[in-house]
C-alpha cells in the first residue's frame, strides 16, 4: 500500500511540475496582451487542477495557496477587475511558493514552507482590486475565501480528470536511467556492426563467389539497416523540445527587466526544435547567463535608447533551428553591443594580455576574452554584473556538449551569441583521416567537402598558406603541424578538408582521407578538451582506438595564433 501511495504522489509531483512550467509564460503573455479570456481560462484550469489533486492527497498548504490564487483568477475571468502588474506579481509569488512546497514533498522533507506571507499578499491584492471597483464595494468588502465556495474534499470523478485514461494508454513514463542504458547498448551494437561489416568485406574480397560468404554479407547488410533504425529510434526516445528550457525565460526576462528599471520584450522562435536529453539538462545555465547579461549590460535604459533614436523598449530574440546535423541557438539583443576597446583595455589592465599582444589580436580574439573566468568590463560588481561574469560557465557548459559559442556584435546595433551543438551526443558520422602513422576521426558535421589538390595550388600570402576554393580564398592549416605529429608524406598532391565552424571557413590538410564511418563517442577521463582539442575516442571497424578531433576548439586556437 505504501508503494502504491508513493507512486501516486510521484505522479502528482510530475503533473504539478508540468502545470507550473506552463503557468509562468502564460502570465507574461496575459500581461502583454491584456485581457485574453482563453489565456485566463487556461491559467484558471491549471490552478484548479493543482488544487484538486493536492486536496485529494491531503497537501493542505498547496490547496490553501492555490485556492487563494484561484479566487483572484475567477474574478478576473468573470470581469470583476482586470489583471495588473501587482496582481501578476502576487500570483507568480503564489506559483513560486507552490513550487517550493512540491520540491519539499519530492525531497520528503518534514518541515514545510511558511505560506502565511503569500496568503496575506494574495488577500491584500484582492482587497485592493475590489476597492477600485465602486460597483462591488458594497457587496464585497473582503474576498469570500470559504471552503463552501469550492468543496475541499475532492470527488472521485474529479481525481479521474487529473490523469485521463487515454493519456495513460498513449504514453508511458520510463526512468531516464533505463533509456540511457538502452542508448549505451545501442552504441555497443553499432561498434559490433562496424566490426562485422569490416570483416565481411574482407572475407568477401578473399573468397569471392562462396555461397556461405555471400549469405554472411547479406545478413550483415540486413543487420546494418536494422542497427541504423534501432539507433534512430533510441535517439528519438531521448529527444525533447527546447520548450522545456525556453518556457522559463519569459518570466525571467520580465522580472529582471522590472528589477533594473528597463523595458524589454522577449521573442522566442523554434521552441519545438528537439534536442538530445543531455542538451536539455546542460543548456539552461548558459542561456540564463547570456540572457541576464544581455538585459543588464546589453539593453540600454529607455532614456538612452530614445537618445540614440531607438524605441524605448528593448528586444531580446531567442531563435533555435537545425542546421545540417547541428542545433543552433541564437540569443540576440538590440542593445549597445560589446565595446571592443573597453574589453581590450580591461584585459591589459588585468594583465591577461600585453599591449603588444593586443595590437596583434583580431577583433574576434579580443571579444572571446570575455569567456575568461571573472572577466568583466564593469568596475562595480552587482548581482547582475557585466558580460564576463558567468561567461566562463557558458563556454565550459557548451564545451561539455561538444559544442561551441560565437559572438557577433556591432556598436549600438546589438549582440548575438550563437551556440552550436551536435544533434546527438553519442553516435555521429565522422570522417576518418590519416596524419603520419596516426588515424583520427573528425565529425562530418564540421566538414563541407573533401578535395585533392596539387601542392603548388597552395599559395602563401603574408605568412599564411591559402587555397582558392570555388572562387573563395580560404586559409590552409596543416593538421600534423597543429597536432605535433610527424609526417613523411611529401607528394605532389594534398588531401584537403574544407571545414566550416560557425562563420569560419578554412582548409585542413591531411595525409590521407580513409572514408566515412558511424562512430560511438567515448569520453576520456582526465583530459581537458579545451586544451588539446580532443572530444573523445572511438573504436573503429578494424578494432583500433581512434581519437576524435574537435575542429571548433582547434579553429579557435589557430585563429588566435594567426
Using DSSP, state whether 138 is helix, strand or coil: coil
pLDDT of residue 148: 40
| Span 29-39, pLDDT tens digits | 887 777 778 88
Instruction: Yes or no: say if 249 and 268 are a contact pair by the CB < 8 Å rule.
Output: yes
Over residues 546-556, the pLDDT tens digits come to: 898 888 778 87
Strand partners, 454: 493
pLDDT of 388 > 50? The answer is no
pLDDT reading at 317 higher than 90: yes
Question: Is pLDDT above 80 for 513?
Answer: yes
Q: What is the domain-level CATH number for residue 553?
A: 2.40.50.180
Domain CATH for 340: 3.30.565.10
8 A C-beta contact, residue 224 and residue 541: no
pLDDT of 159: 38
Domain tally, the chain: 4
Among candidate residues 194, 293, 368, 402, the one labeled active-site is: 293
Residue 306 pLDDT level (bands cut at 50, 70, 90): very high
190 & 156 share domain: no
Q: What band does 139 get if pLDDT is binned at 50, 70 and 90?
A: very low
Cβ atoms of 104 and 61 within 8 Å: the answer is: no
Highest mean pLDDT, choosing among 126-135, 230-239, 446-455? 446-455
pLDDT score recorded for residue 560: 56
**242: buried, middle or exposed (CB in 10 Å: 19+, 13-18, 0-12)?**
buried
Confidence label for 389 from pLDDT (cuts 50, 70 and 90): very low
pLDDT of residue 330: 94
Is 293 in the active site? Answer: yes
Query: End of a domain among 372, 402, 422?
Result: 422
The answer on 390 and 266 residing in a single domain is yes
Please indicate, yes or no, whether residues 534 and 404 belong to a single structural domain of this protein: no
Is the pLDDT at 165 greater than 50? The verdict is no
Label the pairing between strands 239-241 and 274-276.
Answer: antiparallel
The neighbour count for residue 147, using CB atoms within 10 Å, is: 10
Note the pLDDT of residue 493.
80
CA angle 39, 41, 44 (to 5 degrees): 110
Average pLDDT, integer, range 411-436? 84
d(CA 547, CA 414): 39
**∠ at Cα 406 (405, 411), nearest 5°?**
140
What's the mean pLDDT in 89-100? 89
- 522 plus 556 within the same structural domain: yes
Look-up of cell digits 494508454: 169
Q: What is the dihedral of CA 363, 364, 366, 368, to 10 degrees?
A: 160
For residue 333, give the 3-state DSSP assignment.
strand
CB neighbour list of residue 323: distance below 8 Å, 6 or more residues apart = 420
Burial of 67 (0-12, 13-18, 19+ CB in 10 A): buried
Phi then psi for 488, rounded to 5 degrees? -95, -5
**Alpha-helix runs per DSSP H in 34-155:** 37-57, 60-77, 85-106, 116-131, 134-137
- Rounded to 5 degrees, φ, ψ at 52 are -65, -45
Which of the following is catalytic: 70, 406, 517, 518?
70
What contacts 415, CB < 8 A, 6 or more positions away?
Answer: 294, 298, 332, 333, 335, 337, 338, 407, 408, 409
The CATH code of the domain that includes 66 is: 1.20.120.160
More confident call, 171 vs 81: 81
The pairing of strands 326-333 and 414-422 is antiparallel
Average pLDDT over residues 163-174: 54
Mean pLDDT value across residues 40-53: 87
Q: Are residues 125 and 206 in the same domain?
A: no
Query: Does residue 157 surpass a pLDDT of 60?
Result: no
Q: Where are the alpha helices (DSSP H) in 401-534?
A: 479-483, 529-532
Distance of CA 67 to the CA centre of its chain: 35
Per-residue pLDDT band for 404 (boundaries 50, 70, 90) equals: confident
The mean per-residue pLDDT over the stretch 167-179 comes to 68
At 279-291, the pLDDT tens digits run 888 888 889 889 9
Task: Give the pLDDT confidence score for residue 417 in this predicted structure.
Answer: 93
Residue 324: its pLDDT value, please?
Answer: 72
pLDDT reading at 114 higher than 80: yes
Tell me the residue range of the domain where 531 lies.
427-561
**CA separation for the pair 364, 501 (Å, rounded):** 14
pLDDT band at 367 (very low <50, low <70, confident <90, very high): confident
pLDDT in tens, 219-277: 999 998 898 888 778 878 878 888 888 988 988 898 899 889 899 999 999 988 888 88
Q: Are 427 and 186 in contact (CB under 8 A)?
A: yes
SS3 496: strand
The residue-averaged pLDDT of 65-81 equals: 85
pLDDT the model gives residue 390:
57
Q: Please tell me whether residues 398 and 267 are part of one structural domain.
A: yes
How, if at all, do strands 427-435 and 512-520 pair? antiparallel
Residue 443 sits in the same domain as residue 486: yes
CATH number at residue 218: 1.10.287
Own/partner pairs, 376-384, CB within 8 angstroms, 24+ separation:
376/346, 377/297, 377/339, 377/342, 377/343, 377/346, 378/297, 382/296, 384/256, 384/259, 384/260, 384/292, 384/293, 384/295, 384/296
Question: What pLDDT, on a 0 to 100 scale, did the predictor assign at position 333?
Answer: 93
**Residue at a domain's end among 422, 439, 463:** 422
Q: Do 9 and 157 reside in the same domain of the chain?
A: yes
pLDDT at residue 303, rounded to an integer: 92
481 phi-psi bin (left φ>0, alpha ψ -120 to 50, beta other): alpha
Q: Cα separation of 407 and 294, whole Å?
A: 12
Task: Return mean pLDDT, the chain.
Answer: 81
Residues 459, 554, single domain; the answer is yes
- Phi, psi dihedrals of residue 560, rounded to the nearest 5°: -65, -40
Residue 384: the pLDDT is: 47
- Looking at residue 228, its pLDDT comes to 82
The C-alpha cell at 18 is 508540468
The C-alpha cell that represents 203 in the structure block: 572475407
Is 282 found in the same domain as 415?
A: yes
pLDDT given for residue 497 in this prediction:
92
The average pLDDT across 534-559 equals 80
Q: Which of 11, 21, 42, 48 is catalytic?
A: 48
Q: What is the reported pLDDT for 297?
A: 87
Q: What is the pLDDT of residue 307?
A: 92
Q: What is the pLDDT of residue 304?
A: 92
If we measure between CA atoms, which residue out of 478, 537, 475 comes closest to residue 500?
475
| Backbone torsions φ then ψ of 354, nearest 5 degrees | -90, 165
Judged by DSSP in three states, 534 sits in strand
Greatest distance between any 2 Cα atoms in the chain: 99
Q: Is residue 246 located within the same domain as residue 235?
A: no
Q: What's the burial of 488, exposed, middle or buried (CB within 10 Å: 0-12/13-18/19+)?
A: exposed
Cα separation, 60 vs 156, in Å, equals 18
Give the Cα separation of 53 and 48 in Å (integer): 9
For residues 498-511, average pLDDT: 85
What pLDDT, on a 0 to 100 scale, did the predictor assign at position 106?
A: 85
Relative to beta strand 264-269, strand 314-323 is parallel
Of 160-164, 359-363, 383-387, 429-433, which range is least confident? 160-164
Nearest to 405, CA basis, from 392, 390, 421, 418 = 418
151 and 284, same domain (yes or no): no
Q: Among the three residues 240, 261, 290, which one is the final residue of a domain in this structure?
A: 240
* Distance between start and end Cα atoms, the chain: 69
Q: How far is CA 341 from CA 92, 345, 363, 378, in A?
A: 41, 6, 10, 13
Amino acid at each position: 500500500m505504501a508503494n502504491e501511495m508513493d507512486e501516486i504522489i510521484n505522479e502528482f509531483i510530475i503533473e504539478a511540475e508540468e502545470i507550473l512550467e506552463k503557468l509562468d509564460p502564460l502570465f507574461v503573455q496575459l500581461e502583454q496582451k491584456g485581457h485574453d479570456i482563453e489565456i485566463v481560462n487556461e491559467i484558471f484550469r491549471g490552478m484548479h487542477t493543482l488544487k484538486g489533486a493536492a486536496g485529494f492527497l491531503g497537501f493542505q498548504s498547496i490547496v490553501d495557496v492555490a485556492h487563494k490564487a484561484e479566487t483572484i483568477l475567477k474574478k478576473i475571468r468573470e470581469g470583476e477587475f482586470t489583471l495588473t502588474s501587482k496582481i501578476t506579481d502576487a500570483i507568480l509569488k503564489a506559483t513560486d511558493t507552490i513550487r517550493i512546497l512540491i520540491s519539499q514533498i519530492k525531497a520528503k522533507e518534514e518541515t514545510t514552507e511558511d505560506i502565511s506571507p503569500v496568503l496575506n499578499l494574495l488577500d491584500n491584492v484582492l482587497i485592493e482590486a475590489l476597492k477600485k471597483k465602486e460597483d462591488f464595494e458594497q457587496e464585497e468588502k473582503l474576498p469570500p475565501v470559504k471552503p463552501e465556495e469550492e468543496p475541499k474534499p475532492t470527488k472521485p470523478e474529479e481525481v479521474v480528470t487529473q490523469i485521463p485514461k487515454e493519456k495513460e494508454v498513449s504514453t508511458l513514463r520510463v526512468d531516464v536511467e533505463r533509456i540511457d542504458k538502452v542508448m549505451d547498448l545501442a552504441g555497443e551494437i553499432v561498434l559490433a556492426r562496424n566490426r562485422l561489416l569490416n570483416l565481411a568485406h574482407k572475407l568477401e574480397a578473399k573468397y569471392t563467389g562462396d555461397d556461405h560468404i555471400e549469405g554472411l554479407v547479406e545478413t550483415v547488410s540486413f543487420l546494418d539497416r536494422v542497427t541504423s533504425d534501432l539507433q534512430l529510434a533510441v535517439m528519438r526516445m531521448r529527444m525533447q523540445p527546447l520548450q522545456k528550457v525556453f518556457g522559463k525565460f519569459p518570466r525571467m526576462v520580465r522580472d529582471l527587466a522590472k528589477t533594473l528599471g528597463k523595458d524589454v520584450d522577449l521573442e522566442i522562435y523554434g521552441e519545438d526544435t528537439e534536442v538530445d536529453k543531455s542538451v536539455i539538462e546542460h543548456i539552461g545555465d548558459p542561456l540564463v547567463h547570456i540572457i541576464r547579461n544581455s538585459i543588464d549590460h546589453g539593453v540600454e535604459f529607455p532614456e538612452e535608447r530614445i537618445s540614440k533614436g531607438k524605441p524605448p523598449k528593448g528586444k531580446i530574440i531567442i531563435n533555435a533551428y537545425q542546421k545540417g546535423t547541428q542545433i543552433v541557438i541564437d540569443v540576440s539583443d538590440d542593445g549597445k553591443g560589446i565595446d571592443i576597446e573597453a574589453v581590450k583595455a580591461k584585459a591589459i589592465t588585468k594583465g591577461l594580455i600585453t599591449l603588444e599582444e593586443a595590437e596583434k589580436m583580431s577583433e574576434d580574439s579580443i571579444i572571446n576574452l570575455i569567456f575568461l573566468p571573472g572577466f568583466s568590463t564593469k568596475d562595480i560588481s552587482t548581482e547582475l554584473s557585466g558580460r564576463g561574469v558567468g561567461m566562463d560557465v557558458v563556454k565550459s557548459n557548451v564545451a561539455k556538449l561538444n559544442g561551441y559559442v560565437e559572438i557577433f556584435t556591432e556598436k549600438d546595433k546589438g549582440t548575438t551569441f550563437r551556440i552550436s551543438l551536435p544533434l546527438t551526443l553519442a553516435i555521429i558520422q565522422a570522417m576518418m583521416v590519416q596524419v603520419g602513422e596516426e588515424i583520427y576521426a573528425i565529425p562530418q558535421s564540421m566538414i563541407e567537402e573533401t578535395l585533392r589538390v596539387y601542392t603548388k595550388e597552395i599559395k602563401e600570402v603574408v605568412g599564411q598558406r591559402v587555397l582558392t576554393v570555388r572562387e573563395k580564398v580560404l586559409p590552409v592549416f596543416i593538421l600534423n603541424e597543429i597536432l605535433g605529429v610527424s609526417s613523411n608524406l611529401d607528394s605532389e598532391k594534398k588531401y584537403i578538408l574544407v571545414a566550416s565552424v560557425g562563420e569560419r571557413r578554412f582548409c585542413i590538410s591531411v595525409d590521407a582521407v580513409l572514408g566515412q564511418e558511424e562512430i560511438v563517442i567515448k569520453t576520456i577521463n582526465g583530459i581537458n578538451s579545451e586544451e588539446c582539442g580532443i572530444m573523445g575516442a572511438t573504436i573503429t571497424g578494424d578494432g583500433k582506438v581512434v581519437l576524435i578531433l574537435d575542429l571548433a576548439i582547434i579553429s579557435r586556437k589557430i585563429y588566435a595564433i594567426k
